[in-house]
Amino acid sequence: MNTGPAATPFVDRRQVARRFARAAANYPAGDFLAREIDRRMAERLDYVRLTPQRILDLGCSRGGSFAALQARYPTARLHALDLVAPMLQGMAQEPAGWRRWLGRTAPGPVPVQADAQMLPFREASFDLIWSNLLLHWLDHPLPAFREAQRSLSSGGLFMFSTLGPDTLRELRAAFADGDAHTQRFTDMHDLGDMLLEAGFADPVVDMETITLTYDTLDALFADLRAAGSSCAMLARRQGILTPRRLSEVRAAYDSLRKDGKLPATFEVVYGHAWKGEGKAVASRGTQGSDKVIRFMPREAR
């Protein structure tokens, strides 16, 4: 398997930024899936022995992870990094959430606008790097993994979630036209190998399937737009669908209706790994996880 970064970009990063900038103002009303995945990822910290003093939320959006992280690690200094300035600006507008944990006099998260593939931090800057649903917006996860490994202190932990290849499979089947209609999602096995290639120790990945249901295809499209999650691939269809083509897509998707509802599958991949020689910690997937895989270097397999 070639785990090096793709020579030719296939993600339209400008489109990613535009979509999330447009969604930023009302993002808390549209990020319900991200918040649920965030909650499930946070449960894994129950099985980790770590007392971080410096935390980086990588791809923080408007800070939906802050409350849980600060409640768990009240003395830690939190840095919040996102590519999109309106997301970072929106953090200050949150009336509740992490602010109630920080209190009025405690310093808030340090906002940083930057690319996850080129972090503006010195080596060993953080003890925990947390990333919820960022990786599938990048051309390739490996540069971000390498930057996270570089930015962690010895014994530090990298914990992430992303979406796997079965995500929105119903939508792809309904279009079936060769154009990209979702992001390109990386398989969990490849993610584990990339963590090793980036220099991490004891990488563990697991996955589960979350199925949302909708009354109409338009309702699914509306949720994706509200979350900034519409397709941003360079190979996406350009232009507006004709009424005839849209009617064909609706009919194809409607053939998948079950119990009166349209399913939308999300394959959620969770992973964590250590910088250094690794640590013996109890690890488990969430209840109902399909599989948990521990990775080792290829020469030891």
pTM reported for the whole predicted model = 0.88
Does the structure show a pLDDT above 70 at 4?
no
pLDDT of residue 45: 95
Residue 21 lies in a domain: yes
Are 198 and 9 within 8 A, CB to CB?
no
Task: Report pLDDT digits (tens) over 111-130.
Answer: 999 999 999 999 999 999 99
Average pLDDT on 70-98 reads: 85
Distance of CA 253 to the CA centre of its chain: 26
- The count of domains in the chain is 1
pLDDT of residue 283: 42
Are 69 and 6 within 8 A, CB to CB?
no
* Strand-strand pairing, 126-132 and 77-82: unpaired
Distance CA 252, CA 102 (A): 49
Residue 111 lies in a domain: yes
Average pLDDT on 151-166 reads: 98
Residue 246 lies in a domain: no
- Give bridge partners of residue 157 from the DSSP assignment: 128, 274
Residue 105 or residue 28, greater confidence: 28
* Strand-strand pairing, 291-294 and 200-214: antiparallel
Distance CA 107, CA 54 (A): 13
* Strand-strand pairing, 77-82 and 54-58: parallel
Residue 148 lies in a domain: yes
Residue 120 lies in a domain: yes
- Give bridge partners of residue 269 from the DSSP assignment: 162, 207
- Of 152-161, 196-205, 207-216, 234-243, least confident by mean pLDDT is 234-243
pLDDT of residue 288: 44
CATH code where residue 107 lies: 3.40.50.150
Residue 190 lies in a domain: yes
pLDDT of residue 240: 81
Does the structure show a pLDDT above 70 at 30?
yes
Residue 91 lies in a domain: yes
Residue 138 lies in a domain: yes
Task: Report pLDDT digits (tens) over 264-295.
Answer: 999 999 999 999 865 544 444 444 455 677 76
pLDDT of residue 128: 98
Average pLDDT on 21-50 reads: 94
Residue 197 or residue 240, greater confidence: 197
pLDDT of residue 279: 57
Helix (H) or strand (E) holding 66: helix 66-72
- Of 56-65, 158-167, 176-185, 195-204, least confident by mean pLDDT is 176-185
Range of the domain at 96: 13-167+184-213+267-300
pLDDT of residue 238: 80
Residue 156 has φ and ψ, to the nearest 5°, of: -80, 165
Distance CA 190, CA 211 (A): 23
Token pair listed for 120: 């503006």
